[in-house]
């Protein structure tokens, strides 16, 4: 028996499967080899790579638009079920678990890693690009399709997108905090499969998650550098180009490396808090100094239109295109927008969901679902209702000059709009540029933590290893930008999004496994949840050889066995 003076053990206790050495070797070696091969292919033959990836995107769009629409609806329905069923009372981490972070810090971190950089980019670009033509929403009055443009932006970055992140994060969070599994897709998924295929399936699932995370972060790194460069240009006049991009990547990597080394509770929480404060300042300033009455009127109307047409937008597949073969994905509105964005969300789910799951210990499932879906969705709608609406207003006042700038450089839209805000426009340009940096750094920080977990589980990744990951991702981004520029980065990113197609099947399996696990949650499982989250060092748990919980003493049904492994019969 260990001494009572020993420090409490770290919870949750590990109850998952030990990865065989060969599997671990494959997980560590194959991703970098495939990523290097993909980067070389795109750099050596950019036109051929772009053509092949475009053909795959056309195939996915033409044949499987319905699948992505159904997937998004499944995610939303499962979130509603989880929150309002009897399972909503289940607490992540057991009945005695306490939240690790306050509500403001929690909301700040999940929003920053989930959508911050995407919303900064698209909150102006999407309304401007859709203002003349979009489906489902009827044109009212003598104006154009501006109302539909705003409503579709609410839809693409609001409730459904967050439900897609939430359902994946919930699968990982329950698996890790309540069942003692590693925070990996492998252990959240494979036990629903036949035992003969669990091991190879686990390796494939983990490889997909790691590759999607690395390429997603690297290409986003490239685009963040370019958008940050556009922000610098907007208030300094300095030309944005490869030299500035390299400096930006180096600075981003340095700050992220420090944050990753310091730790999630200090580095990420502080950066996310800064994000939230700057975001509030930006939105409030635009609301006060911009076209306030126009924004209030537009938000009032578009919030109602969003509620009225939500189901129609959710089910929209543009089915007429299915009557023939699609020549190119560019002929499909969904190919440009809904399918593209849903694929983006699926491709980014590995690191976003992994991070959200990690920081959500102590929340009930109901609190978790509402916090990860409803609150961020309301923030998105207010953000778009201020920033996006202001961009349409100033676009009209300037004879569509913002539309012209967005057409030339999508990343410049936000800065073109802010430049028109009277009195404090220049200050807001600086604030927005800083936000681009802090939002991406927090996303990279979250991705580094998740990636470290995927690679090293069940061992925790060390701070030094996380810094190495940051440097590696920055190096991939640097190579892509320095050799091929925006075209190469765009090609690799599109390829990453296509990778969402096979990964969507993994997530559907994981969702089915979550439902199975919750329905199997009997008295024995609840006792296990309490035991694996008990910090008492005198309590010794023996993981089941099959990875399903722990071995308990047959002569005492209320206690957990403290016998050493192999000292008695194992009960599955």
- Tell me the pLDDT band of 2, cut-offs 50, 70 and 90: very low
Task: Return phi, psi of residue 332, to 5°.
Answer: -110, 125
Q: What's the confidence (pLDDT) of residue 176?
A: 94
Q: What's the confidence (pLDDT) of residue 556?
A: 45
Q: What's the confidence (pLDDT) of residue 561?
A: 38
pLDDT digits (tens, 9 = 90+) for 138-162: 887 666 799 999 999 999 999 999 9
Stretch 185-189: mean pLDDT: 94
Q: pLDDT over 90 for what percent of the chain?
A: 43
Stretch 175-194: mean pLDDT: 93
Q: What's the confidence (pLDDT) of residue 140?
A: 75
Q: How many CA atoms are closer than 13 Å to the CA of 54, on its beta-carbon side?
A: 14
- Let me know if domain 21-317+333-521 sits in CATH 1.10.1200: no
Closest residue by Cα to residue 295 from 385, 417, 383? 385
Per-residue b or e along 367-395, where b marks 16 or more CB atoms closer than 10 Å to that residue's CB: bbbbbbbbbbbebbbebbbbbbbbbbbbb
Q: How far is CA 207 from CA 403, 445, 534, 540, in A?
A: 41, 20, 32, 33
Stretch 83-108: mean pLDDT: 91
- Does the pLDDT value for residue 283 go beyond 90? yes
What DSSP string describes 419-462?
A: TTSTTTHHHHHHHHHHHHHHHHHHHHHHHHHHHHHHHHTTSPPP
As a whole number of angstroms, the distance between CA 84 and CA 393 comes to 40
- Does the pLDDT value for residue 461 go beyond 90? no
- Tell me the pLDDT band of 287, cut-offs 50, 70 and 90: very high
As a whole number of angstroms, the distance between CA 445 and CA 271 comes to 10
What DSSP string describes 232-297?
A: HHHHH-PPPSHHHHHHHHHHHHHHHHHHHHH-IIIIIHHHHHHHHHHHHHHHHHHHHHS-HHHHHH
3 state SS of 315: coil
pLDDT digits (tens, 9 = 90+) for 401-415: 999 999 888 878 899
pTM for this structure? 0.90
The distance of Cα 440 from the centroid of its chain, to the nearest Å, equals 12
- Tell me the pLDDT band of 524, cut-offs 50, 70 and 90: confident
Angle, vertex CA 53, rays to CA 29 and CA 126, nearest 5: 110
User: Domain limits of the chain?
Assistant: 21-317+333-521
Stretch 31-35: mean pLDDT: 86
Stretch 82-101: mean pLDDT: 93
Q: How far is CA 57 from CA 53, 73, 297, 501, in A?
A: 6, 22, 39, 10
As a whole number of angstroms, the distance between CA 116 and CA 121 comes to 9
Least reliable range by pLDDT among 240-249, 263-272, 362-371: 263-272
- Does the pLDDT value for residue 482 go beyond 80? no
Q: What's the confidence (pLDDT) of residue 445?
A: 80
- Tell me the pLDDT band of 49, cut-offs 50, 70 and 90: confident
């Amino acid at each position: 028996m260990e001494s009572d003076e020993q420090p409490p053990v770290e919870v949750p206790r590990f109850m998952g499967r030990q990865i065989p050495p060969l599997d671990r070797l494959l997980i560590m070696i194959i991703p970098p080899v495939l990523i290097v091969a993909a980067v070389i292919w795109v750099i050596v033959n950019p036109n051929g790579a772009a053509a092949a990836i475009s053909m795959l995107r056309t195939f996915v769009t033409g044949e499987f638009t319905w699948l992505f629409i159904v997937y998004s609806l499944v995610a939303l329905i499962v979130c509603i079920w989880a929150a309002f069923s009897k399972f909503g009372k289940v607490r992540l981490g057991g009945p005695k678990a306490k939240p690790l972070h306050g509500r403001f810090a929690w909301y700040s971190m999940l929003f920053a890693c989930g959508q911050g950089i995407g919303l900064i980019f698209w909150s102006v670009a999407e309304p401007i690009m859709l203002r003349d033509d979009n489906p489902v929403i009827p044109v009212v009055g003598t104006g154009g399709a501006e109302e539909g443009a705003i409503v579709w932006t609410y839809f693409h970055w609001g409730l459904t997108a967050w439900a897609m992140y939430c359902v994946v994060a919930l699968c990982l969070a329950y698996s890790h905090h309540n069942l003692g599994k590693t925070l990996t897709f492998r252990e959240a998924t494979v036990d629903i499969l036949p035992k003969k295929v669990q091991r190879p399936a686990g390796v494939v699932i983990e490889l997909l998650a790691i590759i999607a995370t690395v390429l997603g972060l690297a290409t986003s790194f490239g685009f963040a550098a370019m958008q940050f460069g556009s922000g610098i240009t907007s208030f300094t006049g300095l030309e944005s180009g490869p030299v500035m991009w390299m400096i930006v990547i180096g600075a981003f990597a340095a700050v992220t490396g420090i944050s990753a080394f310091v730790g999630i509770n200090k580095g990420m929480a502080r950066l996310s808090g800064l994000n939230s404060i700057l975001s509030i300042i930006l939105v409030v300033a635009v609301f006060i100094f911009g076209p306030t009455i126009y924004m209030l009127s537009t938000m009032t109307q578009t919030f109602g239109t969003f509620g009225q047409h939500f189901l129609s937008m959710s089910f929209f597949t543009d089915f007429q295109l299915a009557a023939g073969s699609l020549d190119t994905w560019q002929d499909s509105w969904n190919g440009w927008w809904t399918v593209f964005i849903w694929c983006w969300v699926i491709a980014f789910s590995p690191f976003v969901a992994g991070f959200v799951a990690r920081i959500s210990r102590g929340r009930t499932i109901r609190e978790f679902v509402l916090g990860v879906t409803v609150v961020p969705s309301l923030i998105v709608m207010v953000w778009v209702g201020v920033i996006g609406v202001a961009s349409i207003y100033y676009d009209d006042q300037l004879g569509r000059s913002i539309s012209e700038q967005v057409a030339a450089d999508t990343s410049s839209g936000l800065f073109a709009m802010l430049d028109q805000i009277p009195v404090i426009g220049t200050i807001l340009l600086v604030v927005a540029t800083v936000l681009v940096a802090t939002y991406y750094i927090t996303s990279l920080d979250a991705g580094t933590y998740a990636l470290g977990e995927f690679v090293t589980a069940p061992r925790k990744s060390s701070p030094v290893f996380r810094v190495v990951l940051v440097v590696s991702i920055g190096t991939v981004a640097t190579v892509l930008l320095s050799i091929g520029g925006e075209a190469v980065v765009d090609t690799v990113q599109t390829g990453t999004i296509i990778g969402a197609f096979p990964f969507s099947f993994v997530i559907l399996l994981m969702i089915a496994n979550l439902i199975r696990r919750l329905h199997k949650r009997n008295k024995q499982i609840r006792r296990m949840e309490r035991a694996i989250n008990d910090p008492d060092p005198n309590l010794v748990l023996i993981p089941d050889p099959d990875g399903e919980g722990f071995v308990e003493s047959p002569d005492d049904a209320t206690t957990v066995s403290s016998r050493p492994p192999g000292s008695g019969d194992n009960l599955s």
